[in-house]
Structure 1
Amino acid sequence: MTKYLISFPSGAMDFPAEDFQAVVDASHAVVQQAKDAGVWVFGGGIDESIPPVMVDGDGTVTEGTYPQTRQIEGGYTVLEVPSREAALEWAAKIAVACRCAQEVRAFQYDPAS
């Protein structure tokens, strides 16, 4: 089976503040469905209050990140499912719960893992 990354930027979530708890509840329900189905690997949101750092091969830590990844934030889910179609079905469930479109990407297969 292939692992799929299903994600969205935090700015994509555009709903009234009074709907926040309903969105949380709906997203937790989809997570539970994925766990019950045995496809859940992990998921969560990037803590945007903690700035990213770069760690070099010699252990040097530098504030910041790659220029092309400055906008990595939002929510991420990794599922392991039997097909791309199954990943798209789960992405649709997450899109409904989070009230925003989801990006779907497949991880490359690594026979050593």
Structure 2
Amino acid sequence: MTRYLISFDDGAMVVPDGEWGAVGAAAHAVVAEAKRAGVFVTGGGVVQGATVVGVDGAVVEVPLPEAKAVVGGFVIVDVGSLEEAQRWAAKWAVACRCAQEVRALMDDPEM
């Protein structure tokens, strides 16, 4: 099995007012399905704004808006193939009403 990161950029979800509840319910339904299938590892929305901790330990606040694309939300699944991860990503794309990126996570036995 391989773990895959399924994610979307902040700002990718364009949902009309009054429809956020339906989007949340649809996304949670896919999470429940993934849990029942035994492939869900973790996931969630990402709060925007960040701190950067340098190699010297210094902490720097990153001003908003950030100058680069940032993750708006993610899910990690543990599945047997890229194609299976893409099938799950398609379900989240429909639920969240935005395209999803799929990336394999490197396997590190020490982790």
Gaps of 5+ in 1: none
1:15 alignment counterpart: 15
Q: TM-score, normalised by structure 1?
A: 0.86
State the shift of 1:9 in Å: 1.5
For residues 37-90 of structure 1, give each alpha carbon's deviation from its aligned partner in whole angstroms, at most 9, with x where no partner exists.
111111001112xx211112332212229xx97321311111110111100000
Structure that is richer in strand per residue: 2
1:25 alignment counterpart: 25
1:58 alignment counterpart: 56
How many residues get paired? 109
Partner Cα separation in structure 1 for residue 99 and residue 51 of structure 2: 28
1:42 alignment counterpart: 42
Partner Cα separation in structure 1 for residue 46 and residue 21 of structure 2: 19
Q: Does 1:94 pair with 2:92?
A: yes
Partner Cα separation in structure 1 for residue 79 and residue 67 of structure 2: 27
State the shift of 1:101 in Å: 0.9
For residues 2-59 of structure 1, give each alpha carbon's deviation from its aligned partner in whole angstroms, at most 9, with x where no partner exists.
11000111311112112111000000000011111111111001112xx211112332
**4+ aligned runs moved over 3 Å, structure 1:** none
SS in 2 for 1:71: coil
Change (3 A) 1:72 1:10: closer
Percent identity of the aligned residues? Answer: 51
Partner Cα separation in structure 2 for residue 101 and residue 69 of structure 1: 21
Q: CA RMSD in A?
A: 1.9
Q: Does 1:2 pair with 2:2?
A: yes
